[in-house]
Amino acid sequence: MGRYVERFSAFDRVVHWTLAVAFLVLVISGLGLFAHTFFGYFSFFGGPEQGILAHKIAGVVFLIASLLLFFAHAKDSCSFDSDDAKWFAAFGGYLSKNEKEIPQGKFNAGQKLFALFSFVAALVLGVTGFIIWDPTAMARGMTQFSLMLHGLFFILIMMGAVVHIYLATIGNPGTVDGMLWGQVKKVWAKKHASKWFKEVAGED
């Protein structure tokens, strides 16, 4: 009996990190498009034309990776139960000094919400991104509405990603191990995902 339990397959990890790198490229190149202040960011890509091309390529990669990640975990991210309601009521315990963990499945209720939100956001960003791909191709009103939605969902997903990255690293030590090496410590699994741990390891 080892100290570790399998959490993510190689496929899960390759898809997740492809998504994360594409996201980073999208943010840097997208900021150049978003506001004049960030125009200088295009120099990372060799100029505005190359920056826009990088944004389009990373956008396609991000959309495909988001779909793959979501469907790979849909069984665990889309099933809510009464423990999730308790988790929401206690706000995951993040605002209290009481260490008592609420039993959770593979993902806690907040992670499930983030998985659903980032899936919807990737779809909205993807569809609006294709509409504004060539700003002269579609009707003016449609392009303007898509630009507004694209900007709005960029801000929302950015806020979600900041919280996600913090909670997956500094906020909950040991969590990132699963996405890096595929395994997490059993003590981590018992603390953060006790129902899932019982299911996969057959231990309490």
Is there binding between residue 161 and ligand HEM (CB under 6 A)?
Answer: yes
Kindly state the smallest distance separating residue 73's Cβ from ligand HEM, in Å: 6
Collapse the DSSP code of 48 into the 3-class scheme (helix H, G, I; strand E, B; otherwise coil) and give the result. Answer: helix
Which member of 4, 13, 18, 20 binds ligand HEM (CB under 6 A)?
Answer: 20
Applying the rule CB under 6 A, the residues between 98 and 127 that interact with ligand HEM are 107, 111, 114-115, 118
Return the CA Rg of the chain. Answer: 19
Residues 51-70 as x/- pattern, contact with ligand HEM by CB under 6 A: ------------------x-
Q: Which residues make Cβ contacts (< 8 Å) with residue 85, sequence separation at least 6?
A: 109
- Return the number of the residue (143 or 189) whose C-beta is nearest ligand HEM: 189
Taking the C-alpha atoms of residue 100 and residue 113, their distance in angstroms, rounded to an integer, is: 21
Q: In the structure encoding, which two tokens stand for residue 35, read together?
A: 């506001």
- Residue type for 109, please? A
Residue number, nearest CB to ligand HEM: 115
Q: Least distance to ligand HEM from the beta carbon of 33, Å?
A: 18
Least distance (Å) between residue 160 CB and ligand HEM: 7
Kindly give, in sequence order, each residue whose CB lies less than 8 Å from that of residue 138, ignoring residues fewer than 6 positions away: 131, 132, 146
Q: How many whole angstroms separate alpha carbon 92 and alpha carbon 184?
A: 20
Question: Where along the sequence are the contacts to ligand HEM (CB under 6 A)?
Answer: 7, 16, 19-20, 23, 69, 73, 107, 111, 114-115, 118, 157, 161, 164-165, 168-169, 175-176, 178-179
